[in-house]
């Protein structure tokens, strides 16, 4: 019976954030403008790093990958959202929903791993500057990047395969503008033990582990900076890693806000809006934060 129910699923219905035509039009232009800003800003960061030999350092290597990940992350959801709003169609195929969830989790997890690698890079640069070139050699940076990509790909693939085994009834409604993994899983009526276990393990690997690494790195950095005697030295050290701290706070602050909103008002449009803003806002603001903060990128 479970197999028969699974084959009956052909599509999901994305209910979106509003049924009002005027608000739908406003959402379309809002998300379109934000997507164009996100795409253009991150692309300019990548081009600046590629064309300027001064930026061929570990920090900017990680930053270019972060910008690429942000472009892919927003491209996974926003174009589909815009198409649904413009065409006034709320249906997304079962296969399309699975694909969207996979890339959403992949690039979302990749962002976390890249921010962890960048935090470690700042830790070495500030706390062990004399050993920086030895510790952050090209081979080690390549291992960090390869590990970030592989873990994100494998964990996202595992979660997608776990969703593939679930049974659904027929056309199902998702109170969202895209296939948000948690809401899709909650629509299934199969035994959820393995999926819940996989979700907890992946959340720990993609979220808690990077968060622990980032907090550990910055706790050591802050402790080191506070021991610096001169005020100018402290200011210089804080200004060096300020952009990364701001991006880290923005990413985890908005994601935590989306999670708390979802927990407080399950299946509400408020939680859906919180998730959408987390998905769109952070990738859009990253180029401005790094571009304005980095003196090397601003130099002609």
Write the pLDDT tens digit of every residue in 273-284.
Answer: 667 777 888 888
Answer yes or no: is pLDDT of 150 > 90: yes
- pTM > 0.75: yes or no: yes
Domain annotation for the chain: domains and CATH numbers? 2-298 (1.20.1070.10)
Q: What is the pLDDT of residue 21?
A: 60
pLDDT band at 74, cuts 50/70/90?
very high
28 neighbors 189 (Cβ within 8 angstroms)? no
- With tokens 């997304």, the residue in question is 92
Instruction: State how far the Cα of 116 lies from the Cα of 251, in Å rounded to an integer.
Output: 12
Asked if 14 and 171 count as a contact pair (C-beta separation under 8 A), the reply is no
Looking at residue 149, what is its pLDDT? 95
Q: Which residue has the higher pLDDT, 144 or 177?
A: 144
Q: Is 88 left (phi over 0), alpha (psi -120 to 50) or beta?
A: left
CA-CA distance, 105 to 121, in Å (whole number)?
A: 24
């Amino acid at each position: 019976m479970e197999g028969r129910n699974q084959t009956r699923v052909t599509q999901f219905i994305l209910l979106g954030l509003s049924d009002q035509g005027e608000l739908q039009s406003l959402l379309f232009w809002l998300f379109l403008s934000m997507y164009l800003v996100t795409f253009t800003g991150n692309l300019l960061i990548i081009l600046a790093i590629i064309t300027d030999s001064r930026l061929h350092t570990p920090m900017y290597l990680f930053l270019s990958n972060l910008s690429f990940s942000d472009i892919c992350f927003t491209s996974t959801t926003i174009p589909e959202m815009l198409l649904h709003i413009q065409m006034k169609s709320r249906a997304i195929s079962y296969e399309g929903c699975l694909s969207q969830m996979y890339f959403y989790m992949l690039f979302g997890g990749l962002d976390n791993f890249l921010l962890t690698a960048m935090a470690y890079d700042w830790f070495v640069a500030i706390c062990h500057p004399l050993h920086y070139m030895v510790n952050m050699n090209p081979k080690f940076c390549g291992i960090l990047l390869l590990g970030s990509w592989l873990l994100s790909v494998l964990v996202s693939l595992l979660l997608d395969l776990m969703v593939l085994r679930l049974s659904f009834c027929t056309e199902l409604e998702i109170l969202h503008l895209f296939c948000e993994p948690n809401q899709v899983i909650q629509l299934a009526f199969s035994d959820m033990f393995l999926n819940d276990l996989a979700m907890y393990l992946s959340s720990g690997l993609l979220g808690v582990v990077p968060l622990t690494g980032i907090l550990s790195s910055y706790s050591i950095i802050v402790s080191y900076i506070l021991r610096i005697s001169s005020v100018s030295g402290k200011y210089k050290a804080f200004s060096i890693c300020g952009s990364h701290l701001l991006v880290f706070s923005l990413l985890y602050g908005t994601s935590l806000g989306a999670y708390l909103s979802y927990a407080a008002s399950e299946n509400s449009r408020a939680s859906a809006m919180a998730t959408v803003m987390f998905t769109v806002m952070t990738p859009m603001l990253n180029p401005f934060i790094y571009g304005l903060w980095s003196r090397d990128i601003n130099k002609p």
